[in-house]
């Protein structure tokens, strides 16, 4: 059995790419099963329900298993026993993360906005038709990762593939679905603060420093007005509890095209140096910032060197 699985704390791209890859591998004659490393977030649940797809089974141990990694290629987001697994393939759109394999593998890595964009190209390459339900879910994953084409990570290929998937799924107004999806993302009131911080959270190692960066994408930052201080208090608590050098929580307003970044750091001066800004009241505004991958990591990492 080949398992297809995305990263820890899975987002929509991670879950849907695992589902799509499992279907493709089965169509190619390899028995495959999509699984996940963590809970399904509200946006992903919306996508699964909209297209009548089941959530992949939870699986956290892969020792002795064949694994096709989707939407990541590093150890920090991988299963804890990854070195004991047989990595068969990787499909991803992130920078290389230092992964070492003992044998050749099927590797598809492209500088595009979403892993599902690459998987659509794989379906085309192998001349396999995509079912309507999976095509619709893949379309939504691309809209999520590219912030409905607003993110600087979005490419012409992502836009072209989204339109092609929408046609397969029989969807005319795909941007309306994208906006509906982000409204689901914006439903944050009443959710425990730690759940919000960890909803889309990734760990990084920067010059020996443990860094954690979460992101919440909403249609209006005003929804955080009543509990932003609570979120700041929680990332400070998380920093202390889990030994982080820095924890950032990116509150992204997709309509205003920018992010309020909450900061808990032992080296606030490094954070300030990264963007040549001043952190006040444990936060700062970053105009035009929509992408953690392209507008946060590439600035913060060199500041720690």
Q: What is the pTM of this model?
A: 0.90
Give the gyration radius of the chain's Cα atoms: 19
Domain identity same for 202 and 280: yes
Domain range spanning residue 209? 193-303
Find out whether 73 and 92 touch, Cβ atoms under 8 Å: yes
Per-residue pLDDT of 182-215, as tens digits, reads 999 888 888 999 999 999 999 999 999 999 999 9
The single residue listed with the structure tokens 């809970």 is 39
Q: Which of 183, 204, 219 finishes a domain?
A: 183
Per-residue pLDDT of 280-304, as tens digits, reads 999 999 999 999 999 999 999 999 9
d(CA 305, CA 142): 33
User: Residues, the chain, total?
Assistant: 305
Domain identity same for 172 and 211: no
Tell me, yes or no, whether 188 lies in a domain: no
**Beta strand 86-92 pairing with 66-70:** parallel
In 126-207, beta strands by DSSP E: 201-206
Tell me, yes or no, whether 177 lies in a domain: yes
Find out whether 254 and 221 touch, Cβ atoms under 8 Å: no
Domain identity same for 122 and 262: no
CATH number at residue 53: 3.90.1640.10
Tell me, yes or no, whether 250 lies in a domain: yes
In the chain, beta strands by DSSP E: 2-5, 32-36, 57-58, 66-70, 86-92, 106-109, 201-206, 209-218, 246-253, 258-265, 283-287
Query: Number of structural domains, the chain?
Result: 2
d(CA 137, CA 17): 9
Find out whether 67 and 86 touch, Cβ atoms under 8 Å: yes
Find out whether 130 and 123 touch, Cβ atoms under 8 Å: yes
Domain identity same for 18 and 125: yes
Q: Which of 161, 183, 205 finishes a domain?
A: 183
Residue 89 makes CB contacts below 8 A (sequence gap 6+) with 68, 69, 105, 106, 107, 108
Per-residue pLDDT of 203-250, as tens digits, reads 999 999 999 999 999 999 999 999 999 999 999 999 999 999 999 999
Domain identity same for 95 and 233: no
CATH number at residue 295: 3.10.310.20
Domain identity same for 177 and 129: yes
Domain identity same for 7 and 135: yes
Closest Cα partner for 30 from 86, 83, 74, 100? Answer: 86
Per-residue pLDDT of 13-30, as tens digits, reads 999 999 999 999 999 999
Closest Cα partner for 228 from 175, 281, 180, 277? Answer: 281
């Amino acid at each position: 059995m080949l398992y297809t699985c995305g990263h820890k704390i899975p987002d929509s791209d991670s879950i849907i790419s695992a589902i799509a890859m499992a279907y493709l591998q089965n169509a190619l004659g390899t028995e495959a099963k999509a699984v996940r490393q963590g809970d399904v977030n509200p946006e992903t649940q919306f996508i699964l329900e909209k297209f009548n797809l089941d959530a992949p089974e939870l699986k956290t141990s892969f020792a002795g298993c064949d694994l096709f990694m989707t939407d990541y290629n590093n150890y920090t987001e991988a299963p804890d026993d990854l070195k004991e697994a047989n990595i068969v393939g990787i499909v991803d759109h992130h920078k290389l993360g230092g992964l070492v394999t003992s044998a050749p593998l099927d590797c598809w890595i492209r500088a595009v906005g979403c892993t599902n964009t690459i998987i659509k190209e794989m379906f085309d390459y192998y001349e396999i038709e995509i079912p309507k339900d999976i095509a619709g879910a893949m379309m939504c994953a691309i809209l999520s990762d590219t912030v409905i084409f607003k993110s600087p990570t979005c490419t012409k290929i992502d836009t072209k593939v989204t339109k092609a998937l929408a046609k397969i799924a029989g969807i005319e107004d795909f941007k309306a679905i994208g906006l509906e999806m982000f409204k689901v993302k914006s439903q944050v009131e009443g959710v425990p603060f730690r759940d919000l911080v960890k909803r889309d959270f990734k760990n990084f190692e920067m010059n020996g420093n443990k860094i954690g960066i979460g992101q919440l994408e909403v249609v209006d930052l005003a929804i955080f007005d009543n509990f932003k201080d609570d979120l700041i208090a929680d990332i400070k608590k998380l920093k202390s509890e889990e030994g982080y050098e820095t924890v950032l929580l990116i509150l992204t307003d997709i309509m205003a095209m920018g992010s309020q970044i909450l900061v808990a750091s032992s080296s606030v001066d490094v954070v300030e140096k990264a963007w040549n800004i001043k952190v006040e009241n444990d936060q700062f505004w970053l105009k035009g910032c929509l992408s953690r991958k392209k507008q946060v990591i590439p600035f913060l990492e060199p500041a720690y060197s």
